[in-house]
């Protein structure tokens, strides 16, 4: 090739310089050949880089635009496209008033720290997936003391439109709630981290197991929030039977169960009684654990149990020993002295339920008792004009009113838990506590409020006389703050199975 180029240059120079000027031809050749050869060398080098370089690196240039790593580097995502929320270090500090100090009276009640309750052996967890070794604080963290931290770009694990089982009056976004700031708060424990719920890791942890929820409509609210998160990984199969709702996640052989039990004790109507009771009035047998729960208990690996809000709000008679009427709620027509008011009956009912669980001879699982979930009715109760209209962010500490009912019910729950721990200290099952009462005292913003249905004509503001619209300040928007309960649940289950 070099010889051909040399001949070509010689012919060009002969045309430019007369034949009798052979010396001139030789001189010109020296000046022309050198730059020309350099130009060719540069062109060849450029061709090698452009055409051969990608092949030498085993890359197809046509695939570069589809490389996810390149897309992450080149794209300019909006906040909604960010895959993970900002880290705690990136989030502006919350107002100093949103602190870990509990509201009046609650601070006098000392919760049973979950770290003190030893878990039982049951099943195997995926150690590598959950990375237990990287979480040394797991055994000592108190997840229920801390503060709410705002994360403005926090993205829920699911949307109301991606979960078909949300109870209609908890579907806040679907019912027209215009604000979404209630979604942007993360509970930050003091001195440790509360892990976000990882639905895949959760299902791996519970592979081959059964998790049951029992209680009232707030327990159902909790159950639905968990199901919505897991639904994004796999659509479960409905295998319900009788009074027991069941969903099977086939890929993980995981069963989620829900048993309705408003009071956690047996409920009957009619029959004999020492005090005349209206035929259609529910009778709460304070000394009898709910038979539907008891009959299914042995099949559960984990039971999340909660109750409370039906006590004192639904008319009922209190019964012991099958027929002895000892009191009532919303009803009494006898001169016989009342032995139990609502708080006393609630204490007896919680004692019966928890001790019935921990002494069950065939139950070897973990029971997680979720404490009283605060409501936020102001200016009245749920049926007397109470309201949480206009709440769009967590309450400041100074804004939290004293609630005697919450204080009393919480105290009786903690007493029942301590007694059950003592009675069941040699039990084959274990009992732990999900203490949501303090953290959720601040979350008046996280209820549906007036956004309880899709009716476009519903009233959502106070009328001209200042009366609030009908509203729900007891249940929780889904998605919303209630998803924190499943972060607690995930952390508690990791702790439980980690210790086996």
> Which of 487, 480, 479, 489 minimizes the C-alpha distance to 166?
479
> How many whole angstroms separate alpha carbon 435 and alpha carbon 306?
11
End-to-end CA distance of the chain: 77
472 is catalytic: yes
Of 296, 307, 310, 345, the C-alpha closest to 324 is 345
Nearest to 475 by CA among 159, 156, 169: 169
Estimate the crossing angle of helix 22-47 against helix 2-16, to 10 degrees.
140
Q: How far apart are CA 103 and CA 105, in angstroms?
A: 7
What is the DSSP annotation of 458-487? ---S--TT-PPPP-BSSS--TTTTTHHHHH
Active-site choice (100, 180, 217, 299) = 217
- Token pair of 155, please? 């993205």
Whether the CB-CB separation of 147 and 189 falls below 8 Å is answered with no
- Identify the active-site residue in 432, 472, 483, 496: 472
Which of the following is catalytic: 435, 475, 483, 496? 475
Q: Which two tokens stand for residue 265?
A: 């004790």
How buried is 319 (Cβ within 10 angstroms: 0-12 exposed, 13-18 middle, 19+ buried)?
buried
Residue 239 dihedral angles phi and psi, to the nearest 5°: -120, 30
Residue with tokens 């020993």, as numbered in its chain: 321
Q: Supply the residues annotated as catalytic.
A: 217, 472, 475
């Amino acid at each position: 090739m070099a010889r051909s180029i040399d001949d070509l240059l010689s012919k060009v120079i002969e045309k430019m310089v007369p034949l009798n000027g052979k010396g001139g031809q030789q001189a010109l050749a020296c000046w022309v050949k050198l730059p020309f050869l350099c130009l060719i060398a540069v062109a060849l080098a450029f061709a090698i880089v452009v055409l051969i370089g990608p092949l030498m690196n085993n890359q197809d240039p046509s695939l570069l635009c589809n490389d996810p790593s390149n897309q992450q580097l080149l794209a300019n995502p909006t906040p909604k496209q960010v895959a993970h929320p900002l880290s705690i270090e990136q989030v502006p500090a919350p107002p100093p008033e949103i602190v870990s100090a509990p509201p009046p009276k609650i601070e006098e009640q000392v919760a049973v720290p979950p770290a003190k309750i030893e878990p039982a052996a049951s099943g195997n967890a995926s150690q590598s997936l959950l990375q237990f070794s990287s979480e040394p604080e797991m055994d000592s963290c108190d997840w229920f003391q801390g503060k709410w931290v705002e994360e403005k770009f926090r993205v829920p694990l699911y949307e109301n439109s991606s979960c078909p089982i949300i109870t209609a009056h908890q579907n806040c976004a679907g019912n027209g709630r215009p604000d979404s700031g209630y979604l942007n708060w993360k509970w930050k424990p003091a001195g440790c981290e509360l892990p976000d719920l990882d639905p895949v890791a959760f299902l791996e942890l519970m592979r081959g197991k059964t998790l049951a929820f029992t209680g009232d409509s707030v327990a159902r609210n909790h159950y639905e929030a968990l199901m919505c998160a897991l639904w994004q990984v796999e659509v479960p199969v409905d295998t319900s039977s009788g009074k027991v709702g069941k969903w099977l996640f086939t890929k993980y052989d995981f069963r989620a169960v829900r048993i309705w039990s408003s009071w956690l004790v047996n409920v009957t109507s009619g029959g004999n009684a020492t005090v005349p009771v209206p035929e259609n009035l529910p009778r709460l047998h304070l000394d009898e654990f709910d038979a539907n729960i008891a009959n299914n208990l042995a099949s559960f690996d984990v039971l999340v149990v909660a109750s409370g809000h039906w006590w004192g709000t639904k008319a009922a008679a209190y019964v012991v020993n099958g027929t002895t009427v000892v009191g009532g709620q919303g009803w009494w027509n006898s001169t016989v002295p009342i032995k139990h008011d609502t708080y006393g009956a609630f204490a007896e009912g919680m004692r019966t339920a928890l001790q019935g669980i921990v002494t069950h001879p065939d139950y070897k699982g973990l029971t997680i008792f979720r404490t009283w979930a605060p409501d936020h009715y102001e200016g009245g109760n749920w049926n007397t004009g109470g309201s949480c209209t206009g709440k769009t962010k967590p309450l400041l500490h100074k804004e939290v009113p004293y609630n005697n009912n919450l204080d009393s019910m919480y105290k009786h729950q903690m007493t029942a838990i301590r007694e059950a721990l003592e009675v069941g200290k040699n039990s084959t099952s274990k009992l732990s506590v999900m203490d949501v009462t303090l953290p959720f005292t601040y979350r008046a913003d996280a209820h549906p409020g007036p956004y309880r249905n899709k009716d476009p004509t519903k009233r959502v503001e106070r009328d001209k006389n200042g009366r609030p619209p009908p509203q729900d300040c007891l249940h929780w928007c889904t998605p919303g703050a209630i998803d924190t309960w499943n972060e607690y649940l995930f952390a508690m289950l990791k702790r439980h199975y980690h210790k086996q």
